[in-house]
Chain A
Amino acid sequence: MSAPVRSCDVLVVGGGAAGLSAAAAAAEAGASVLVAEREDRLGGILNQCIHNGFGLHRFGLELTGPEYAARDVARIAGSGAVMPLLETSVLSLDTSSRQGGRITAKLVGRGVGLFDVSCGAVVLACGCRERTRGQINIAGGRPAGVYTAGTAQRLINVDGALVGRRVVILGSGDIGLIMARRMTWEGADVLCVCELASEPGGLRRNIAQCLDDYGIPLHLSTTVTQVFGKVRLEGVELADVDPATRRPVPGTERRVDCDTLLLSVGLIPSNEVAATAGVGIDRRTGGPSVDESLETDVPGIFVAGNELHVHDLADYVSEEGLEAGANAAAHALGRRGSRRDDGIVVECGENVGSVTPQRIARGADEVVMRLRSRGRVQDADIVLVADGREARRWRRRIVVPSEMQTVKLSAADLPEGIGRLCVGVVAHGASPEGE
């Protein structure tokens, strides 16, 4: 086993969509890059997403996940400045000594055990995790056959194991919808998809092409309240949900016999490595709080992709990875001017559930702001208010919670001396509330 590399300019944690783009951008900016990937191949979750629809924005093509990943892997393989460390995990980041402003990472790799890497900057690209049964309070025992949708996706698409025959899916997020079609195609009987909310969670195109094409019913305002079965799942109890309280309505319970329950009930940014460095987390996104360069509140630690906030499309994850990678390289190579920490605070206004960045450095010339709305607004304006004064608005045909919105600000949108920016989503022409 060769001795691991002990030093680099940029350490990228995670070799999925975000990490691969970050590595490519950092290398193209002249940095030496290590990518730590815990699996035995690069690509991350893209490898198990064998359906098509990736790359429409970046390449104008509908690629499958493995094809999309292969393009990014080829890009870093061609650079020579990026070394992937497979079957290697980052355990912790230590910024306490800060010798020469450097960060020490503790890693563990197959065959090499524990080792340290000293780096000039880090890009966190650990992706996200699925919410599990334990987080949604379903009564009953612990029979086999209850899976998160992504776990089932991996078992079927990577390991070639069909996880069940009669399937109920809870949650209409995109992974749940994709898995409804996937399991139908592999010969399973998908009985229904239940959604707690009164609106579907996933993209409309997935509802049309994954459910409607196969006559799979989507039950809105419905949830699973109990599982039956001791060794293997034998059925689930469904109940209507009161849209106002989101509680099951007594007396509406009914049993559906099935051997498999897939849970597609939300994703949470994976912040274990970030936590070891004391990175501040935004409770709205569930990911680190960042400035417009995607730097966390710990200098030299950047973040991109689903670890920052859960995205709808891999294309935008890659875009964010490029930004974080280029900025991390500039930091490591000493090409960034001194930054003042009395930046502009960005807040969520009317109908906005979360926004990044959470702060903007003074003098920033371009800022990419990404936000998710709380509700659906047709013919909408995204309104930016600076210290109580409207600074700019962008019109959108429609804004829905399932599609992240991106707006770009320039220095001209940020008046001199402002302290606080508030972003809201309103009906076209309306003024945001409370401003």
Chain B
Amino acid sequence: MPTRQTKEFTCVQCPMGCLLTVTLEDGAVVSVSGNSCPRGKAYGRTEAVHPERTVTSLVGILDDFHPLSVKTAAPIPRERIDEVLDAIAQTVIEPPVEIGDVVIPDVCGTGVDVVATEARS
């Protein structure tokens, strides 16, 4: 007997803000309803199974009063955000740095790098 589960979200793909209902069986999406377009369906599928977010924060930079802005180069699983933020907060790097330079490779084993989003000489 498969376990059946439903999850509800507000779709964020456009200002309509459709209330999506996603039905899962044994953790796999079997249907999305409440959407008015294909983008909503795709969003519902991802959001129900593995919600992902891009994280942006700051790292310290040696001998510089101002921190440096960074981001995860790709979205990471939402439940790993705190862990990744802690790793970023403990990081201090040396200048110079260019946009896109890897600041933390494979952060917390997520397979995603943290990269600089501003340059500093």
Q: Which residues of A contact B (CB under 8 A)?
A: 47, 50-52, 62-64, 66-67, 70, 157-160, 185-186, 203-205, 207-209, 212-213, 378, 397-398, 400, 402-403
Contacts and interface: CB of A to CB of B under 8 A. Distances in A.
B116 to A, nearest CB: 9
Interface in B56-71: 56-58, 60, 65-67, 69, 71
Interface residues of B, number: 28
Interface in B6-29: 9-10, 12-17
Contact of A66 (B9, B36, B78, B117): B117
B15 A204 contact: yes
B15 A400 contact: yes
B53 interface: yes
22 contacts: A50-B56, A50-B57, A50-B117, A52-B54, A52-B56, A64-B56, A64-B71, A66-B69, A66-B99, A67-B118, A160-B60, A160-B67, A185-B55, A185-B85, A203-B15, A204-B12, A204-B17, A207-B10, A208-B9, A397-B36, A400-B15, A402-B15
Contact of B12 (A208, A378, A403): A208
Contacts of A402: 15
> Interface on chain A toward B: helix, strand, loop, or mixed SS?
mixed
A397 B58 contact: no
A45 to B, nearest CB: 14
Contacts of A157: 58, 67, 69
A189 B17 CA distance: 27
A186 B56 CA distance: 11
B119 interface: yes
Contact of A403 (B15, B66, B71, B78): B15
Interface string B92-107: 0000000100000000
Contacts of A64: 56, 69, 71, 117
Nearest to A402: B15
Given A160-B66, A400-B15, A70 B9 contact: no
A185 to B, nearest CB: 6
A428 to B, nearest CB: 14
Contacts of A67: 99, 117-118
Contact of A397 (B14, B60, B66, B67): B14
Nearest to B70: A50
Interface of B: 9-10, 12-17, 36, 53-58, 60, 65-67, 69, 71, 78, 81, 85, 99, 117-119
B53 A209 contact: yes
B78 to A, nearest CB: 7
A50 B15 contact: no
Nearest to A397: B16
Nearest to A159: B66
Contacts of B66: 158-160
Contact of B15 (A51, A62, A185, A398): A398
Contacts of B117: 50, 63-64, 66-67
Nearest to A71: B99
The 5 closest A-B pairs by CB, nearest first: A205-B12, A50-B69, A66-B118, A160-B67, A64-B117
Contacts of A203: 15
A47 B66 CA distance: 12
Contact of B71 (A52, A186, A207, A213): A52
Contacts of A70: 99, 118-119
B74 to A, nearest CB: 10
Contacts of B14: 397-398
Nearest to A47: B118
A204 B10 contact: yes
Contacts of B55: 185
B53 to A, nearest CB: 7
Nearest to A205: B12
Contact of A50 (B36, B58, B65, B81): B58
B57 A213 contact: no
A52 B74 CA distance: 11
A334 to B, nearest CB: 39
A378 to B, nearest CB: 8
B30 to A, nearest CB: 23
Nearest to B36: A397
A213 B55 CA distance: 13
Contacts of A378: 16
A62 B54 contact: yes
Contacts of A62: 54
A104 B11 CA distance: 51
Contact of A213 (B16, B53, B118): B53
Nearest to B67: A160
B15 A213 contact: no
A160 B58 contact: yes
A403 B14 CA distance: 10
A346 B39 CA distance: 36
